[in-house]
Amino acid sequence: MEIIIKIKERKISTILLQNKKEVDFLNIVEEHSLSEKLLPEIDRLIRKNKLKLEDIEKVTVDSDQEDNFTTTRIAKSVANAWNWNLKNKE
């Protein structure tokens, strides 16, 4: 399973993929509090689909914003931390 944090036209979604196919998604309404809402929304998506944290093999970011936008930096930081944690558990 994979999670994509998608940022398109200032709209943010967390998308759950299995074998590159969309299984479920959640939209995050408030961009300005993303640092407070992103991890709880990922957790909600995982729980909603009756998964465990260990079931998520990778988190990526798909953004139409430049890397210097705070929203994109927050999303990439979360993805990098998640993926770092997975790599260091092995």
pLDDT digits (tens, 9 = 90+) for 49-65: 999 988 999 999 999 98
pLDDT digits (tens, 9 = 90+) for 64-79: 988 778 889 999 999 9
* Spatial distance between the Cα atoms of 7 and 72, rounded to a whole number of angstroms: 8
The whole-number average pLDDT for the span 16-40 is 89
Please tell me the pTM assigned to this model.
0.88
Query: What is the residue-wise DSSP string for 49-63?
Result: TT--GGG--EEEEEE
Q: Which CATH class is domain 2-89?
A: alpha beta
Q: Take residue 85 and report the two structure tokens written for it.
A: 């944690």
* Spatial distance between the Cα atoms of 87 and 69, rounded to a whole number of angstroms: 27
